[in-house]
Structure 1
Amino acid sequence: MDKTTNGFVNSFIEYLQIEKNYSENTINSYKKDIEQFLLFLHAEGIVVTDVEYFNARLYVTELYHQKISRASAARKISCIRSFYKFLLREQIVKENPFALVIQPKKEKKLPSFFYEEELELLFDVCREPTPLKIRDLALLELLYATGIRVSECANIQLSDIDFDIGTILVKGKGRKERYVPFGSFAHEAIQKYIEEGRSVLMQEKEKHTFLFVNSRGGPLTTRGIRYILSKIIESAALTGKIHPHMLRHTFATHMLNNGADMRTVQELLGHDNLSSTQVYTHITKEHLRKTYMNHHPRA
C-alpha cells in the first residue's frame, strides 16, 4: 500500500472511531475488508482514486468466485461503499463507484433457539457448589434473562448492576447504553456468585470491577465466555448445530411466544432497527404452526 492510499485508509479509520464511534471489532472488520479490496486493485493495476463502476462490478464478481456467503459479500460491499462515501465527502474522489452496486440478498435463515426442556439441561450442568460452577450458572442465567450479547456480558462492571430494582446497565454496539431488567432467578444466581464464587476466585488477584472472572481471578473475556458456554452445551449432550448466541435468540423467541410486543423486545436486545427484531416473528409463527398441526383434530 503506497503512502497516499495508506493516508486515505487511516483517515477513514479515524472517521469510524471518532465520528461513527464504532467498536474495535467492527473497525478491525472494516480494515480487513479494505485490505482485501486494495489487494484486488493492486492485481488489476488500478489506484483507489481511479476506480469506476465497471471496476466495482468486477470486484463483486471476484467475491462471487470466492464462494463466500451472501452475508459476507454484502458486508464487504457495504464496507467499500462506506469507504468511497467518505472519500467523496472529503473531495478525494468525484463519485462513489459502489453507489449503484446491488448487494446480494442475505439468505433468510431462521435463528436457532433452545426449547425450555433444553435450557433446563444447561442449568442442571451448572448446579455443583464450586466457585466456577456457581459462576457458570450466574453467566447462563444472566444471558437468558437479558438476551445481551456475549461481548456486552464480558464488559459488565459490578457497579452496572442494580439489585434493588433488578436492572443492569449494558454497553452495546457503538458504545450505546441501555438498561435491561433481569428476574428473580438471575438475581439469586448473580448474588450467590458475587458472594461465594467471585470472592473466592479473586482472593489472590489484583482487584478489578468486572463482574465475571476466570479461574485465575482476571476479567473473563468474550472468548472465555464463549468457551464456557460451549463446554456447558457439550456437557448437556445436546445434539445439532448449537452455538452460544442461541441464548440471545432464545430470549427473544420466548419473550415473543409469551406475548411481549416487538418494540419492547427490540429495545431490550439493543437493535437499532425493528427489521433486525422482526426475524423472530418467523420463529414464533413456525411455533404456532407446529402447535396447530400437532393439536388440531383436522390439521
Structure 2
Amino acid sequence: MQKFDPLKKYSFRKARDWKYPLWCSLAVNAYLDWLRRSFHSEGTIRSYKYVVYNFCDFLLLKKLSSFEDLNRNLINEFLRIDLHSTVNGTSGRNSVLRQFITFLEDNNYLADQTIHGVIPAKLAHHRKIITILSDEQISCINEYRKTCNSPIELRDAAMVMIGLKLGFRSSNVINLKLSDIDWMNKKISITQYKTKVSISLPLSVDVGNAVFRYMKYGRPECDDPHVFVRHKAPYGILSGKICSNALNRVLSTVSDGSSVKFHTLRKTFATSILKNNAGVERVIDALGNRDSTTVNVYLTYDELHMRKCALSLKEMSIPMGGATK
C-alpha cells in the first residue's frame, strides 16, 4: 500500500451515483446487486452501469421524477441520440438497456410491463472467422514440451498444454490450485472463473507430465496454493497476460511475427473434439458452456463432416452445364 504523503496534494473523485435522485439511484443499485448475485464479474458490472447511468442522465434531462413516467417514445428518442461507432456497440447497449428495463418491470418500478419490447433484442453483426492452431503449430507445442528445461520454459509448456488439451481459459489456468488436481484419479476439477460452472476433466498423460515436471523442477518453493506462480519474490498468482506470452514463446520458432491469443487453444480444443466424432454435447460439457450458441461456430471447422451436409445441385434444380445465354 502506498504511504500517505502529508505534503502531496491529493484529489478524490466522487462516485458517479452521488448526483442522482433516490428514485433513480435505488433502482440502479438494486439492478447492480442483482447482477452480482447472478455471478457477473465486476468488469461486466462496470460496463453495464455505464450504459444504465447514461440512460438515467437522459431521463433527468427530460425532467422525469420517477421511472413510472417512462414511456416508449422516450426510449426510442434515447436510442436515436445515444450513437455508437460500431454495430456491436449499439447491440451491446440495447442488450443492457433491455435487461435493465425488464428488471424494472419485474420489480414493479414500471406500470407498463411490456415496455422493454420497444428495444431491438438483436442487431445483425459481423461474424468473426474462428482461428485455430495449424498442425505445424501443434507439433511445435508437443516438441517444445519434450525439450524444455528452464523453469520458465517448464511453466510455459505446462500452461500451454492445459489450454490445448483441456480447453482452459487463461483465467482458469492462472487460478488453478494444487488442490484442483487429483493425481490418484487422474483428473482436474475446477469452478470456471468466468462462468462459475464446475467442470471435471481427465488428466491426460502428456498434460500430467508437463504439470509434474514444472512442479518438481521449475516451480519455486512457496506456500502459495496456485499451481503457477511468479518466479521472483514475492511469489504469488500471475496475470492473465502471461498465458498469451507463454504461448507465443512456445510458438516462436514457427511464428510469422503475429501474436497468437491464448484463447486460440480453447478453440482448437473444441474443434478437435468435433473432429473426433464426439458431438456438440460433448464439447459443451468439456468447455463448461451453458448452451450450444457459442459452440456451433466450431462446426464449420469439421470439414470432413461438413462435406456430408452439402446438397446436390441436381436436386436443387440447378443445371450443371454452365450459365445459359
TM-score category, normalised to shorter length: 0.7 to 0.9
- Residue 190 in structure 1 maps to residue 206 in structure 2: no
> Which one of 53, 64, 70 corresponds to residue 72 of structure 2?
53
CA contact (8 A) 2:160 2:243 kept: no
Determine whether 1:108 maps to 2:124.
no
Deviation at 1:223, TM superposition (A): 3.3
Match of 1:34 in 2: 52
Quickly say closer, same or farther: Cα 1:285–1:10, change in 2 above 3 A.
same
Q: How does 1:1-299 map to 2 (within 5 A)?
A: 1-4=19-22, 5-18=24-37, 20-41=38-59, 49=67, 50-62=69-81, 65-70=83-88, 72-95=89-112, 97-102=115-120, 103-124=122-143, 127-172=147-192, 173-198=194-219, 200=220, 203=221, 205=222, 207-216=223-232, 217-233=235-251, 236-238=254-256, 242-285=260-303
The alignment-based identity, stated in percent, is 22
Q: Distance in 2 between matches of 1:112 and 1:31?
A: 32
Deviation at 1:225, TM superposition (A): 2.6
CA contact (8 A) 2:300 2:306 kept: no
For residue 43 of structure 1, report the CA deviation from its aligned partner.
6.0
> What is the identity, as a one-letter code, of the residue corresponding to 1:280?
Y
Q: Distance between the aligned counterparts of 2:86 and 2:304, measured in 1?
A: 29
Partner AA of 1:113 in structure 2: I
Deviates more, 1:37-46 or 1:49-58: 37-46
Which structure's relative contact order is higher, taking Cα pairs within 8 Å and 6+ residues apart? 1
* Bigger Rg over Cα: 2
Using the size of structure 2 for normalisation, the TM-score is 0.76
User: Which residue type is aligned with residue 128 of structure 1?
Assistant: C
The CA deviation at 1:26 is 2.9
What is residue 295 of structure 1 aligned with on the other side? none
Gaps of 5+ in 1: 293-299
Aligned residues: 282
User: Would you say the 8 A contact 2:140–2:250 is kept in 1?
Assistant: no
Of Structure 1 and Structure 2, the greater helix share is in 1
Q: Is the 8 Å Cα contact of residues 110 and 283 (structure 1) preserved in structure 2?
A: no
Q: Distance in 1 between matches of 2:141 and 2:64?
A: 54
TM-score by length of 1: 0.82
- Write the deviation string for residues 5-51 of structure 1: whole angstroms up to 9, x where unpaired: 22222111111222x23233332332233234445555666677244
